[in-house]
Amino acid sequence: MAQLRIAMAQVNPTVGDLDGNCRIVLDHARRAHEAGAHLAVFPELVVTGYPVEDLALRNSFVSASVKAVAALAERLADEGLGELPVAVGYLSRRVGVGERYGQPAGTPQNAFALLHCGRVEVGSAKHHLPNYGVFDEARHFVPGETLPVVRLHGVDVAFAVCEDLWQGGGPVAAARRARAGLLVTVNASPYERDKDNVRLELCQRRAREIGAAVGYVNMSGGQDELIFDGDSLIVDAEGELVARAPKFEEDLFVTDLALPAADGGVPPSEGPGEAVDGVRVVRHLLSGEPAEPYAPAPPVLTPRADPASDVGEVYRALVVGVRDYARKNGFGSVAVALSGGIDSALTTTVAVDALGADRVHVLLLPSRYSSEHSVSDAEELVKRQGVTSRTVAIAPIVAAFEEGLTLEGLAAENLQARVRGTLLMGLSNQEGHLVLATGNKSELATGYSTLYGDSVGGFAPIKDCWKTLVWELARWRNAEAERTGAPPPIPENSISKPPSAELRPDQLDTDSLPDYDLLDGLLDAYIGTDKGMRELTTDGYPPDLVERVIRMVDRAEYKRRQYPPGPKISSRNFGRDRRLPITNRWTPRS
Amino acid sequence: MAQLRIAMAQVNPTVGDLDGNCRIVLDHARRAHEAGAHLAVFPELVVTGYPVEDLALRNSFVSASVKAVAALAERLADEGLGELPVAVGYLSRRVGVGERYGQPAGTPQNAFALLHCGRVEVGSAKHHLPNYGVFDEARHFVPGETLPVVRLHGVDVAFAVCEDLWQGGGPVAAARRARAGLLVTVNASPYERDKDNVRLELCQRRAREIGAAVGYVNMSGGQDELIFDGDSLIVDAEGELVARAPKFEEDLFVTDLALPAADGGVPPSEGPGEAVDGVRVVRHLLSGEPAEPYAPAPPVLTPRADPASDVGEVYRALVVGVRDYARKNGFGSVAVALSGGIDSALTTTVAVDALGADRVHVLLLPSRYSSEHSVSDAEELVKRQGVTSRTVAIAPIVAAFEEGLTLEGLAAENLQARVRGTLLMGLSNQEGHLVLATGNKSELATGYSTLYGDSVGGFAPIKDCWKTLVWELARWRNAEAERTGAPPPIPENSISKPPSAELRPDQLDTDSLPDYDLLDGLLDAYIGTDKGMRELTTDGYPPDLVERVIRMVDRAEYKRRQYPPGPKISSRNFGRDRRLPITNRWTPRS
């Protein structure tokens, strides 16, 4: 056996910020060196941030990324870190292939590099390109065709990129053929509820298939709608969990491994040999001899998968999402319209946890239909959390509109929501706050919201949370406060009272929508599992309800497209992964 | 030689409207039968409409499409049209392959069927799946692996789908191998300026490659952002143009062809033979003997490619886009805010040409900064075109807002735009009009607009037109009126005066933006050809201007995502085909 000390850098880069991202790599490489690591591994596309989307198709961006990686290698050497092999993901291009009709322009690749002694020592690229859910990589990249296997302190280490681990064949099969002692994958794998054990089980299965340890290094932090939750881990060749980093945190995690020493002093030279499964093994020699034996340090092994922590994890994902969206877009503060209801109460609380109360500005915008408890519940939250608040009564503004144009019914209801949206945007334009929209997923699904009204804003923290989850999150947050001896931030009355938009007298959500327990179950079954009308009624939902709700969902597509982005916590989603044509005359009948 | 009379049905289906689309096929098949056609050909995915986007991933929708095609075949036979082979595109699924990680769920296919004698006689599917520009087919379909070759009145006719003609290898090569006498492709190819000759030249090149005539049948009409312009055509085996249908019109075009008779009375049986280039030829026999000789009718041969008609064609595309978006979404009328400026004047004129003056409602919304000529130019347009108009002065409403929240500078400017947006949406909600947004592509590119202000609406007719093109279109429309002896619909002053948003005293667009001639050239170079900063300055643009404009474009991404859809007239575009991450810290430096 040979020893290897691996540093997994679970960092949080920003898309397009090449300089800043390279600084992050440099800082963590220095820490890895100080910790005596033999190898530092960073996430997929760490140099550019992930996802680059169509920046991949900009020739000048690809060139800038290639240059940045070369400069990073030199900089590492200049700072005395040249001996430490540093594994990074970056954007590159495939050379030696011509432009072909239908192929991404400029042949960009989701590339991998090992930086060593001032040079880009090893180059390869992601082979399997995911093109489902939030991923569009067949649009943006051409596939890589090599698996690099690097002899490092006598161990053959294979390197692959994210999806290459998920799909069978290709790089996984090549790693087995190459008799690698360790397969390291660099990843940008977004958070989803219950996804962490899926990743662990995948690594365990692959380790047993390949007969080698597997190291999985993931990104952390929020990038637009994606929240990367870290959860980097290492399993041994039997699939036993050896090390596991905490979720969401940006940090460096060092693990000592004992791995099989490779046969022979020098790896067999493999030139441009034949590709099997579309993948060719390319070997590199960094250091043939095992490291001097040393006493291994105990690994980080963060416990996970306590089902009770699920709601708490969602809450944390939302906080990370708001924190990073504000920071990465250059906003120092946020503004929220606080109604006294649960959605705006939870949104405000998430924002306070993300940014601090002094950076959260709320507007209380009572109308002629606002109940007394709405105002008092909102004021109670302001008091408990210490956010800055202002109150503007909207009745005189609504009256001024109605002088110019008489509106009735739904048009009059929407007018009030739009007056609020305009006030909120006015405050934002005047003072520079990021506006947070407060809509939840049940509203987005059914279209129970006002375009350009409650839907205004730059980010929508709870847009992927069903209404029933919104209540759970609020209760969890209050319980967490009590657990730590702090006062509960959310007024109990905001959680317990029946929900209402308060756009007409005595209005309740249940006037227009079924009870949320029933509705959320039905929505989740329709959107998540794609059941047709017959299956949903077989599941026990009344046929007229099924028909009504399905129609609402399909007709709300336009509103959803106009909604601000927000943190994704689920693959049962709209948006990129569920995008209907706006003109869509079809409703499932069976 | 053998004769064949082909009817090309250049129809306009609606996504999801399976019943309505099948009725369109039935009606046109009847007309083809009455015209004595031997074959009727409909566009790609005519049964479901195009693009189906993620409806393809709904199992119940795929099933509904498969059932609809079987029912359509029976219906054709019931109505005495069973002998006429009818070629249609529809959504199907590949059978006999399991679900595989990363493969579209349910293995849907962009399928082709030949309906004959009450049955689905021939089944195949699109092989090359475009996944660039407006296309996302790698997300939604699994590729087909067969090329059907049908002996029809003694001629071997091969059938392929759209992209299969554009990409080399695959079906094109198989058609050549199969010694087909005619290759028919069914298409849903969207309009782009100058694309028609590209299609013609492609058909000519392929015809010469294959040594067979090529028939190209395209869709017509608008579907969300896509405008299908028809332009169906036939070239002979030498690449000579034989027939060409008009652009944009939904109609049936019948052409008599003389084609080489196939060798032998019965085609060689080819079972599940080996695939070459991923495509296997599958032969079918409908009728081995040539048709009785008859006197051919002269073909339709619509002249095209008069450069002077380019602007007129764009105008027509916009009209089709507005007409079909309103109709397919169930709107009987539209509402526009008319400012007296050129953008709203052109938008209103397009709407009147699409729907008629009685279905166009305009709002005149003067502010304290509106000039006299703005009001008089808007009133003049109302008079010339006879649209319904209402005037609401926004000053009292703006004053009511400012009582509640003091706003200055840009925040105060945006407030006025948002008051207008709210009035327009109020009118829409009250009376059911589709709101048309009036922004042009130069504004969208630079972010020179107000979120939830002038950007509100359901459809944005001129969002893909640079400001300089907006002027050209207005001049073209007035000239066209004069040519036909009608009064010009657009007041000359709206075209000739310097553009202004009129949100503060004496404001001009040139206060914030360079001259539009300069700006549009720079924007087109940056967005269309993806030139970096160095190339743009080499082209003669001042470096500080290049830097400023590029920053504006990259930072306006969020506003563009929130903008309503509109007809695409160019591949040099934003949206699906140019989608930056919202958090994007990168500006090209070289």
Give the catalytic positions of B in this structure: 44, 126, 162
Nearest residue in chain A measured CA to CA from B164: A102
CA distance A391 to A379: 10
Q: Which of B53, B558, B579 sits opposite A54 (nearest CB)?
A: B579
Q: Do A260 and A155 contact (CB within 8 A), yes or no?
A: yes
- Please report which confidence band the pLDDT of residue B194 belongs to, taking 50, 70 and 90 as the band edges: confident
C-alpha A259/C-alpha A235 separation (Å) is 12
Query: Average pLDDT of A288-314?
Result: 87
Confidence at residue A573, expressed as pLDDT on a 0 to 100 scale: 63
Residue B369 at interface with chain A, using a CB cutoff of 8 Å:
no
Residues 133 through 162 of chain A touching chain B, CB cutoff 8 Å: 136, 138-139
pLDDT of residue B269: 59
Cα(B462)–Cα(B148) distance, rounded to whole angstroms?
42
Confidence at residue A276, expressed as pLDDT on a 0 to 100 scale: 81
Which chain B residues are closer than 8 Å to A585 by Cβ?
Answer: 14-17, 20, 328
Q: Out of A22, A137, A162, A192, which one is annotated catalytic? A: A162
> Which residue in chain B is spatially nearest to A59 when comparing CA positions?
B530
Tokens of A555: 């007709």
pLDDT above 90 (res B179): yes
Cα R_g (chain B), whole angstroms: 26
Note whether A410 contacts B: Cβ–Cβ < 8 A: yes
CB atoms B64 and A586 under 8 Å: yes
> In the prediction, which pLDDT does B169 show?
87
Which residues are CB-neighbours of B307 under 8 A, at least 6 positions away?
none
Residue-wise pLDDT tens digits, B414-461 = 999 999 999 999 999 999 999 999 999 999 999 999 999 999 999 999
Which residues of A sit in the known binding site? 132, 189, 195, 337-344, 414, 438, 443, 559
Residues of B in contact with A408 (CB under 8 A): 430
pLDDT at A590: 59
Give the model's pLDDT for residue B590.
60
How many Cβ contacts (< 8 angstroms) between chains A and B?
A: 259
Chain B CB contacts of A578 under 8 Å are: 54
Q: Report d(CA A476, CA A479) in Å as an integer.
A: 5
Q: Can you read off the two tokens belonging to residue A504?
A: 């007409």
Mean predicted confidence (pLDDT) in B222-248: 96
What's the mean pLDDT in A485-491?
A: 97
Tell me the average pLDDT across B188-201: 91
The alpha-carbon gap from A529 to the nearest alpha carbon of chain B, in Å, equals: 10
Residue A576 has a pLDDT of: 52
Amino acid at A168: G
Q: Are B352 and B489 in contact (CB under 8 A)?
A: yes
Contacting A residues, span 24-63, partner chain B, CB-CB under 8 Å: 49, 51-55, 57-61, 63
| Nearest alpha-carbon partner for B180 in B275, B265, B283, B42 | B283
How close B67 gets to chain A, by Cα (Å)?
12
Q: Tell me, yes or no, if A422 comes closer than 8 A to chain B by beta carbon.
A: yes
CB contact under 8 A, B581 and A456: no
Put simply, whether B102 touches A (Cβ < 8 Å) is yes
ipTM computed for the complex? 0.94
| Residue A578 confidence (pLDDT) above 70 | no
Residue-level pLDDT at B530: 77
Going by the annotation, the residues of the binding site of A for L-glutamine are: 132, 189, 195
Which pLDDT belongs to residue B456?
A: 97
Residue in chain A lying closest to B56 (CA): A580
Give how far the C-alpha of residue B275 lies from the chain's centroid of Cα atoms, to the nearest Å. Answer: 34
Classify residue B250 by burial, with Cβ atoms within 10 Å: 0-12, 13-18, 19+: middle
pLDDT-above-70 percentage for chain B: 96
Q: Which residues of A touch B219 (CB under 8 A)?
A: none
Residue A403 near chain B (CB below 8 Å) = yes
- Give the pair of three-digit tokens for residue B474: 């207005």
Coil, strand or helix at B287: coil
Task: Write the residue in A418, A533, A581 that is nearest to B53 by C-beta.
Answer: A581
Interface contact flag, A530 B60, Cβ < 8 Å:
yes
Active-site residue, A126 included = yes
> Given an 8 Å threshold on Cβ–Cβ distance, is A585 in contact with B451?
no
- Three-state DSSP class for residue B248: coil
Provide the residue type at A507 as one letter.
Q
**C-beta atoms of A400 and B405 within 8 A:** no
Phi and psi, residue B265, nearest 5°: -80, -35
CA A15, distance to chain mean position in Å, is: 13
Q: Which of B58, B138, B426 sits opposite A407 (nearest CB)?
A: B426
Q: Which of residues 178-197 of B touch A (CB under 8 A)?
A: none
A15/B586 touch (CB, cutoff 8 Å), yes or no: yes
Residue B528 has a pLDDT of 78
In terms of DSSP bridges, do strands A39-41 and A86-93 run parallel, antiparallel, or are they unpaired?
Answer: parallel
| Residue B396: band (very low, low, confident or very high) from pLDDT cuts 50, 70, 90 | very high
**Binding site, annotated residues of A for deamido-NAD(+):** 414, 443, 559
Cα R_g (chain A), whole angstroms? 26
Test mutation, A430, A435, A450, A550, chain B, max B CBs within 10 A: A430
CA-closest candidate to residue A434, choices A358, A517, A329 = A329
The shortest CB-CB distance from A60 to any of B415, B532, B562 is to B532
Please report the pLDDT score of residue B168 as a whole number.
84
Query: Which regions of A126-205 does DSSP assign to beta strands (E)?
Result: 146-152, 155-161, 182-186
Q: What is the DSSP string of A200-224?
A: HHHHHHHHHHHTSEEEEE--EEEET
Task: Specify the DSSP element, H or E, that contains A28.
Answer: helix A18-34
For residue B60, the chain A residues in CB contact (below 8 A) are 530, 532-533, 588-590
pLDDT at A356: 98
Is the pLDDT at A305 greater than 80? The verdict is no
For A131, which of B139, B399, B405 is closest by C-beta distance? B139
The pLDDT confidence band at residue A510, using thresholds 50, 70 and 90, is: confident
Per-residue confidence (pLDDT) for residue A507, from 0 to 100: 87
Q: How far apart are CA B565 and CA A562, in angstroms?
A: 10
Average pLDDT rounded to a whole number, residues A275-281: 87
**CB neighbours of residue B37 within 10 Å:** 24
- Average pLDDT of chain B to the nearest whole number: 93
Of the candidates A578, A553, A575, A551, the one whose C-alpha atom is nearest the C-alpha of residue A565 is: A575
How far is the C-alpha of B367 from the C-alpha of B337, rounded, in Å? 13
Q: Does A325 touch chain B (CB under 8 A)?
A: yes
Percent of chain A with pLDDT strictly greater than 90:
80
Query: How much is the average pLDDT of B301-328?
Result: 89
B451 vs A581: which has the higher pLDDT: B451
Residue B195 assigned to a binding site: yes
Each residue of B257-309: pLDDT tens digit?
Answer: 999 999 865 566 555 667 788 899 999 999 999 999 999 999 988 887 666 68
Residues 216-275 of B with CB under 8 A from A: 223-224
The sign of the dihedral angle between the CA atoms of B534, B537, B543, B547 is negative
* Residues of chain B found within 8 Å of residue A60, distances taken between Cβ atoms: 530, 532-533, 588-590
Look at residues B541, B534, B542 and name the one whose alpha carbon lies nearest to residue B587: B534
User: pLDDT by residue (tens digit) across B475-510?
Assistant: 999 999 999 999 999 999 999 999 988 888 888 888
Q: Out of A22, A83, A117, A126, which one is annotated catalytic?
A: A126
Residue A106 Cα to chain centre, angstroms: 28
The model's confidence at residue B21, banded by pLDDT at 50, 70 and 90, is very high
pLDDT for A226 beyond 70: yes
Q: Residue B364: which residues within 8 A CB-CB, separation 6 or more?
A: B337, B338, B375, B378, B379, B382, B389, B390, B391, B392
Model pLDDT, residue A530: 77
Q: Does A330 touch chain B (CB under 8 A)?
A: no
A148-207 pLDDT, tens digit each: 999 999 999 999 999 999 998 899 999 999 999 999 999 999 999 978 789 999 999 999
Quick check: A425 and B404 CB within 8 A? no
d(CA A569, CA A313): 10
Q: How far is CA B554 from the centre of its chain?
A: 26
The residue with greater pLDDT, B195 or A431, is: A431
